[in-house]
Amino acid sequence: MSETNQPHTLSPDLWVDNYADYLYNYAVVRINNNDLAKDLVQETFFAGLKSAKNFEGKSTERTWLISILKRKIIDHYRKINSKKGQAEIRMSFYDNGENEGNWIEERVPQSWNSETESDIENEELKEQIDKCINNLPEKYAMVFRMKTILEFETEEICKELNITPSNLWVIIHRARTQLRTCMEQNWFNK
Protein backbone atom coordinates (compact mmCIF):
# COMPACT_ATOMS: atom_id res chain seq x y z
CA MET A 1 0.00 0.00 0.00
CA SER A 2 1.45 3.33 -0.99
CA GLU A 3 1.92 6.06 1.60
CA THR A 4 -0.86 8.18 0.06
CA ASN A 5 -3.37 5.40 0.67
CA GLN A 6 -2.56 5.14 4.35
CA PRO A 7 -5.40 6.40 6.53
CA HIS A 8 -4.55 9.66 8.24
CA THR A 9 -4.15 9.68 11.98
CA LEU A 10 -4.72 12.29 14.67
CA SER A 11 -2.03 13.79 16.90
CA PRO A 12 -3.93 16.09 19.28
CA ASP A 13 -0.73 16.95 21.18
CA LEU A 14 0.52 18.75 18.08
CA TRP A 15 -2.71 20.49 17.09
CA VAL A 16 -1.95 23.81 18.74
CA ASP A 17 1.54 24.07 17.25
CA ASN A 18 0.51 22.84 13.81
CA TYR A 19 -2.95 24.26 13.25
CA ALA A 20 -3.87 26.96 15.79
CA ASP A 21 -2.65 29.84 13.61
CA TYR A 22 -4.21 28.40 10.48
CA LEU A 23 -7.59 27.92 12.16
CA TYR A 24 -7.39 31.30 13.87
CA ASN A 25 -6.62 33.04 10.59
CA TYR A 26 -9.46 31.15 8.91
CA ALA A 27 -11.92 32.26 11.59
CA VAL A 28 -10.81 35.84 12.14
CA VAL A 29 -10.99 36.90 8.50
CA ARG A 30 -14.56 35.67 8.37
CA ILE A 31 -15.96 37.00 11.60
CA ASN A 32 -13.55 39.91 12.22
CA ASN A 33 -13.63 39.47 15.97
CA ASN A 34 -10.35 38.37 17.52
CA ASP A 35 -11.77 37.10 20.81
CA LEU A 36 -14.60 35.19 19.19
CA ALA A 37 -12.16 33.69 16.66
CA LYS A 38 -9.95 32.49 19.53
CA ASP A 39 -12.98 30.97 21.26
CA LEU A 40 -13.99 29.17 18.06
CA VAL A 41 -10.48 27.75 17.63
CA GLN A 42 -10.56 26.48 21.21
CA GLU A 43 -14.05 25.01 20.74
CA THR A 44 -12.87 23.35 17.52
CA PHE A 45 -10.00 21.63 19.31
CA PHE A 46 -12.29 20.54 22.16
CA ALA A 47 -14.86 19.19 19.70
CA GLY A 48 -12.03 17.45 17.86
CA LEU A 49 -10.88 15.75 21.06
CA LYS A 50 -14.41 14.62 21.84
CA SER A 51 -15.08 13.20 18.41
CA ALA A 52 -11.58 11.85 17.74
CA LYS A 53 -12.93 8.30 17.92
CA ASN A 54 -15.14 9.07 14.90
CA PHE A 55 -12.21 10.19 12.74
CA GLU A 56 -11.99 7.73 9.87
CA GLY A 57 -8.68 8.93 8.49
CA LYS A 58 -10.12 9.72 5.05
CA SER A 59 -9.06 13.36 5.18
CA THR A 60 -6.02 15.03 6.63
CA GLU A 61 -6.06 16.19 10.23
CA ARG A 62 -6.17 19.83 9.11
CA THR A 63 -9.10 19.31 6.72
CA TRP A 64 -10.98 17.48 9.45
CA LEU A 65 -10.38 20.29 11.96
CA ILE A 66 -11.39 22.92 9.41
CA SER A 67 -14.65 21.07 8.78
CA ILE A 68 -15.39 21.30 12.52
CA LEU A 69 -14.51 25.00 12.55
CA LYS A 70 -16.73 25.60 9.50
CA ARG A 71 -19.69 24.13 11.39
CA LYS A 72 -18.91 26.43 14.32
CA ILE A 73 -18.87 29.42 11.96
CA ILE A 74 -22.22 28.36 10.46
CA ASP A 75 -23.64 28.06 14.00
CA HIS A 76 -22.38 31.56 14.75
CA TYR A 77 -23.90 32.87 11.49
CA ARG A 78 -27.25 31.25 12.32
CA LYS A 79 -27.15 32.85 15.76
CA ILE A 80 -26.54 36.36 14.38
CA ASN A 81 -28.99 35.73 11.55
CA SER A 82 -31.80 35.04 14.01
CA LYS A 83 -31.18 38.22 16.02
CA LYS A 84 -34.01 40.65 15.57
CA GLY A 85 -34.12 44.40 15.91
CA GLN A 86 -30.79 45.05 14.27
CA ALA A 87 -30.15 48.30 12.42
CA GLU A 88 -32.39 48.46 9.39
CA ILE A 89 -31.43 50.29 6.25
CA ARG A 90 -33.12 53.58 5.60
CA MET A 91 -35.41 53.21 2.65
CA SER A 92 -34.19 55.11 -0.39
CA PHE A 93 -37.11 54.21 -2.64
CA TYR A 94 -40.88 54.47 -2.53
CA ASP A 95 -42.22 51.06 -1.61
CA ASN A 96 -45.74 51.49 -2.96
CA GLY A 97 -47.95 53.66 -5.14
CA GLU A 98 -47.21 54.90 -8.61
CA ASN A 99 -43.67 55.91 -7.59
CA GLU A 100 -42.82 52.44 -6.32
CA GLY A 101 -39.15 51.70 -6.92
CA ASN A 102 -38.26 55.34 -7.65
CA TRP A 103 -35.92 57.44 -5.50
CA ILE A 104 -37.40 59.26 -2.53
CA GLU A 105 -36.47 62.91 -3.23
CA GLU A 106 -34.50 63.50 -0.01
CA ARG A 107 -32.51 60.26 -0.48
CA VAL A 108 -31.36 61.00 -4.01
CA PRO A 109 -27.54 60.63 -4.22
CA GLN A 110 -25.67 63.91 -3.92
CA SER A 111 -22.44 64.78 -5.73
CA TRP A 112 -19.29 64.08 -3.75
CA ASN A 113 -16.34 66.36 -3.29
CA SER A 114 -14.23 66.67 -6.43
CA GLU A 115 -11.03 65.25 -4.90
CA THR A 116 -12.78 61.95 -4.16
CA GLU A 117 -11.13 59.97 -6.94
CA SER A 118 -7.60 61.10 -6.20
CA ASP A 119 -8.01 60.47 -2.49
CA ILE A 120 -8.83 56.78 -2.49
CA GLU A 121 -5.38 55.57 -1.36
CA ASN A 122 -5.61 57.67 1.78
CA GLU A 123 -4.84 55.72 4.99
CA GLU A 124 -7.57 57.49 6.95
CA LEU A 125 -10.05 56.44 4.30
CA LYS A 126 -9.15 52.80 4.92
CA GLU A 127 -9.73 53.32 8.62
CA GLN A 128 -13.10 54.89 7.87
CA ILE A 129 -14.07 51.84 5.77
CA ASP A 130 -13.28 49.60 8.74
CA LYS A 131 -15.41 51.75 11.01
CA CYS A 132 -18.31 51.70 8.56
CA ILE A 133 -18.07 47.93 8.06
CA ASN A 134 -18.00 47.45 11.82
CA ASN A 135 -21.17 49.54 12.10
CA LEU A 136 -23.05 47.13 9.85
CA PRO A 137 -25.27 44.48 11.42
CA GLU A 138 -22.94 41.52 12.05
CA LYS A 139 -24.61 39.33 9.44
CA TYR A 140 -24.21 41.96 6.71
CA ALA A 141 -20.61 42.66 7.73
CA MET A 142 -19.71 38.98 7.57
CA VAL A 143 -21.19 38.38 4.11
CA PHE A 144 -19.91 41.71 2.74
CA ARG A 145 -16.40 41.02 4.03
CA MET A 146 -16.33 37.51 2.56
CA LYS A 147 -17.59 38.69 -0.82
CA THR A 148 -15.88 42.07 -1.19
CA ILE A 149 -12.79 42.10 0.98
CA LEU A 150 -11.85 38.41 0.90
CA GLU A 151 -13.18 38.13 -2.67
CA PHE A 152 -14.71 34.67 -2.23
CA GLU A 153 -16.89 33.20 -4.97
CA THR A 154 -20.64 33.51 -4.40
CA GLU A 155 -20.98 29.72 -4.47
CA GLU A 156 -18.29 29.30 -1.84
CA ILE A 157 -19.96 31.77 0.56
CA CYS A 158 -23.38 30.22 0.05
CA LYS A 159 -21.94 26.79 0.79
CA GLU A 160 -20.05 27.97 3.86
CA LEU A 161 -22.94 29.91 5.37
CA ASN A 162 -25.69 27.68 4.04
CA ILE A 163 -27.54 30.52 2.31
CA THR A 164 -28.96 30.88 -1.21
CA PRO A 165 -27.45 33.20 -3.86
CA SER A 166 -30.59 35.39 -3.66
CA ASN A 167 -30.09 35.73 0.12
CA LEU A 168 -26.49 36.68 -0.53
CA TRP A 169 -27.36 39.39 -3.05
CA VAL A 170 -30.03 40.89 -0.80
CA ILE A 171 -27.47 41.08 2.02
CA ILE A 172 -24.78 42.51 -0.26
CA HIS A 173 -27.20 45.12 -1.60
CA ARG A 174 -28.26 46.18 1.90
CA ALA A 175 -24.69 46.18 3.19
CA ARG A 176 -23.48 48.33 0.29
CA THR A 177 -26.40 50.71 0.71
CA GLN A 178 -25.62 51.20 4.40
CA LEU A 179 -21.90 51.48 3.76
CA ARG A 180 -22.50 54.06 1.07
CA THR A 181 -24.49 56.20 3.48
CA CYS A 182 -21.85 55.83 6.18
CA MET A 183 -18.97 56.65 3.83
CA GLU A 184 -20.85 59.59 2.39
CA GLN A 185 -21.56 61.09 5.80
CA ASN A 186 -18.13 60.43 7.28
CA TRP A 187 -15.82 60.84 4.33
CA PHE A 188 -17.02 61.85 0.90
CA ASN A 189 -19.23 64.70 2.05
CA LYS A 190 -17.71 65.37 5.45
Tell me which residues touch another protein (CB under 8 A). 12, 15-17, 20-21, 24-25, 28-29, 34, 37-38, 41-42, 45-46, 49, 92-93, 100-103, 108-109, 111-112, 116-117, 120-121, 125-126, 129, 147-151, 154, 169, 172-173, 176-177, 179-180, 183, 188
Kindly state the helix (H) or strand (E) to which residue 6 belongs, with its residue range: none
Which of 83/154 has CB closer to another protein? Answer: 154
Q: Of the two residues 12 and 57, which places its CB atom closer to another protein in the complex? A: 12
Backbone φ and ψ of 164, nearest 5°: -90, 160
Separation between Cα atoms, residue 67 and residue 61, nearest integer Å = 10
Residue 77 beta carbon to another protein: minimum distance, rounded to whole angstroms: 19
Q: CA 125 → CA 7, 44, 77, 116, 129, distances in Å?
A: 50, 36, 28, 10, 6
User: Which of 27/81 has CB closer to another protein?
Assistant: 27
Cα three-residue angle 55-61-62, rounded to 5 degrees: 135
SS3 93: strand
Nearer to another protein, 1 or 120 (CB): 120
Q: Which of 81, 85, 50 is nearest to 65 (CA)?
A: 50
Least Å from the CB of residue 5 to another protein:
29
Rounded least distance, CB 124 to another protein, Å: 12
Least distance from C-beta 177 to another protein, angstroms?
8
Type of residue found at 43: E
Q: Which is nearer to another protein, 21 or 75 (CB)?
A: 21
- Count of other CB atoms within 10 angstroms of residue 40: 24
